Amino acid sequence: MASDKSFCSSYSLLSPEKAGVIDLLRILIYSDVHERGCVDSSEKGEESFERRLIMFVSILAQKLLLSVAKPLSWIGLAIEFWLNLLSSNRNFGRLLVNCFRGKVVMPDRESGSFTSIVDNLDKRVELDNRIRPGDDEYHAALSMTASKASYENENYLRTTVTHHWQVKRENLNRKQTLGMEFLGSYNFWNDYQRKATTKAFMLRDRDTIMVAFRGTEPFNVDDWCLDFDLSWYELPSAGKIHGGFMKALGLQKNLGWPKELGPHLKMPAPFAYYAIREKLSLGGALAILFPAILAIHGEKWLMDRLEGFMERVLKEHQIEYFRFVYGKDIVPRLPYDDSASMFTHFGRCCYFNSKYQGKILPEEPNKNFFLPLRVIPMMMNAWYELMRSFMIAYEKGPSYREGLLLRILRVIGLLVPGIPAHAPQDYVNSTRLGGSQLFLHQQ
């Protein structure tokens, strides 16, 4: 059955599983790419070389990733197991002692103490008790901490939300219980990958419901393929939207975006958009797309209750959307914001430099990143961040101490600037240290 694309006005879809070596070469050499079996597009005619190069890179990257999916997953599992083996036995020295005594504590992946690689980059669990409910920066700080926590298992999330975050909030005001309620952790179906690869959790903070989508896991090929899938769908009055993220949110292969799911439709797991919409009656990109599909379906009453989104779509609801960008982070600058890639990054940008000084800008500096003139400044900044990692605990307090894993990542950043800047530590630090004046718009 052909895919229903009636929800969009135009589209361009890339299928790496249908592309061979000859197809890739033809995309680079010949301009009639729409005649290729690996490209399904509503547009006809010739494409520029710049656009064909983007298609080539997108398809090639996905094919290479899929070819190393299993070994990459094994490496990630091994690193996670080792990190949790060390923490379960307190440290390497205690692990050796326990080995000799035959009392090694083995980590349990489903336990509330098992943590992901992302959490090992920033082990802070508690909210900053200096930021109180009602403060200008409160929701920004909570959102960033929830985004970091979204990489963890359900037991970890339940314990963190109902005990760690709840205790801190009760201590802020003893006259009133201000604890949070954990609403659930979910695995959502991706109809194109035929797996439940979209993950999110929900919590209630007094009269606010927060949905945190998990972003890209470092060793998860399915996540990386979604990022590199530069297919797009054009929605009326919303423009061209990243196809990979649409699929993660619940786009169905044969049905597109029906307003309601048929009663006889049986899937191994729910679709993210429909499940969350029902509960309210993915990472950052899914949270942005969710209201866009609400707008398509005319869900006005839910739109009026959502905080944060798309300029043109949500302007009539008087809802603002802000992007958070730290320093030289490469991820929020991809894909390129230019005519060849056909994407643009929208919304005012809450930008923080490497000293965690924030300002609101129309767009982040150096939005297209790989400019030759920027290489030396980026390398110098990477050296500064590495040196800062040894000093920040003395300047800002012990909760800002950086661990060995993050310092190793910062050393890698000396060769590949922009990668360490996407780690959660700098984003959490930014919302805690960036200054309350930056978040006055949340009042």
Which tens digits make up the pLDDT trace of 95-145?
A: 899 999 989 999 999 999 999 999 999 999 988 888 888 787 888 888 899
Pull the structure tokens for residue 340: 């060849």
Return the axis-axis angle of helices 284-296 and 272-280, rounded to nearest 10°.
70
- Work out the end-to-end distance of the chain between its first and last CA atoms, rounded to an integer number of angstroms: 49
Residue 176 has pLDDT above 70, yes or no: no
Q: What integer is the mean pLDDT of 13-40?
A: 83
pLDDT at 342: 66
User: Percentage of the chain surpassing pLDDT 70?
Assistant: 80
Q: Check residues 383 and 175 and name the one with the higher pLDDT.
A: 383
Identity of the highest mean pLDDT range in 2-11, 27-36, 182-191, 368-377: 182-191
Pull the structure tokens for residue 338: 């230019």
Residue where a domain terminates, one of 320, 346, 378: 320
Residue where a domain terminates, one of 320, 349, 370: 320
Q: Looking at the structure, tell me whether residues 310 and 437 fall in a common domain.
A: no
Distance from C-alpha of 69 to C-alpha of 109, rounded to nearest angstrom: 21
Q: What integer is the mean pLDDT of 373-386?
A: 87
Q: Check residues 400 and 298 and name the one with the higher pLDDT.
A: 400
Identity of the highest mean pLDDT range in 283-287, 383-387, 413-417: 383-387
Residue 437 has pLDDT above 70, yes or no: no
Q: Looking at the structure, tell me whether residues 206 and 347 fall in a common domain.
A: no
**Do the beta carbons of residue 52 and residue 42 sit within 8 Å?**
no
Task: Give the predicted TM-score (pTM) of the model.
Answer: 0.84
Question: Is 114 inside any structural domain?
Answer: no
Of 253-267, 349-363, 420-434, the poorest mean pLDDT is in 253-267
Question: Is 63 inside any structural domain?
Answer: no
Residue 300 has pLDDT above 60, yes or no: no
Q: What integer is the mean pLDDT of 167-173?
A: 49
Question: Is 24 inside any structural domain?
Answer: no
Residue 356 has pLDDT above 60, yes or no: yes
Q: What integer is the mean pLDDT of 346-365?
A: 85
Q: Check residues 179 and 231 and name the one with the higher pLDDT.
A: 231
Question: Is 31 inside any structural domain?
Answer: no
Q: Looking at the structure, tell me whether residues 372 and 266 fall in a common domain.
A: no
Place of tokens 């490497």: 354
Backbone angles phi, psi at 428, to 5 degrees: -65, -45
What is the residue-averaged pLDDT of the chain? 81
Beta bridge partners of 41: 12
Question: Is 43 inside any structural domain?
Answer: no
Q: Is 133 left (phi over 0), alpha (psi -120 to 50) or beta?
A: beta
Residue 140 belongs to domain spanning: 131-320
Residue 11 has pLDDT above 50, yes or no: yes
pLDDT at 132: 83
> What angle (nearest 5°) sits at the alpha carbon of residue 408, between those of residues 403 and 412?
145
Q: Looking at the structure, tell me whether residues 274 and 287 fall in a common domain.
A: yes
pLDDT at 285: 47
Q: Looking at the structure, tell me whether residues 381 and 421 fall in a common domain.
A: yes
Place of tokens 């926590």: 149
SS3 89: coil
- Find the length of the chain: 443
Residue 413 has pLDDT above 80, yes or no: yes
User: Percentage of the chain surpassing pLDDT 90?
Assistant: 30
Q: Looking at the structure, tell me whether residues 264 and 204 fall in a common domain.
A: yes
pLDDT at 316: 55
pLDDT at 320: 60
**Do the beta carbons of residue 308 and residue 287 sit within 8 Å?**
yes
Q: Looking at the structure, tell me whether residues 155 and 242 fall in a common domain.
A: yes
Q: pLDDT tens, 187-234?
A: 999 988 888 989 999 998 887 888 888 988 989 998 888 888 888 888
Q: What integer is the mean pLDDT of 339-366?
A: 80
Question: Is 103 inside any structural domain?
Answer: no
Q: Looking at the structure, tell me whether residues 262 and 343 fall in a common domain.
A: no
Question: Is 90 inside any structural domain?
Answer: no
Question: Is 272 inside any structural domain?
Answer: yes
Q: Looking at the structure, tell me whether residues 275 and 395 fall in a common domain.
A: no
DSSP string, 334-346: -S--STTTT----
User: How buried is 272 (Cβ within 10 angstroms: 0-12 exposed, 13-18 middle, 19+ buried)?
Assistant: buried
- The number of domains in the chain is 2
Distance from C-alpha of 271 to C-alpha of 247, rounded to nearest angstrom: 10
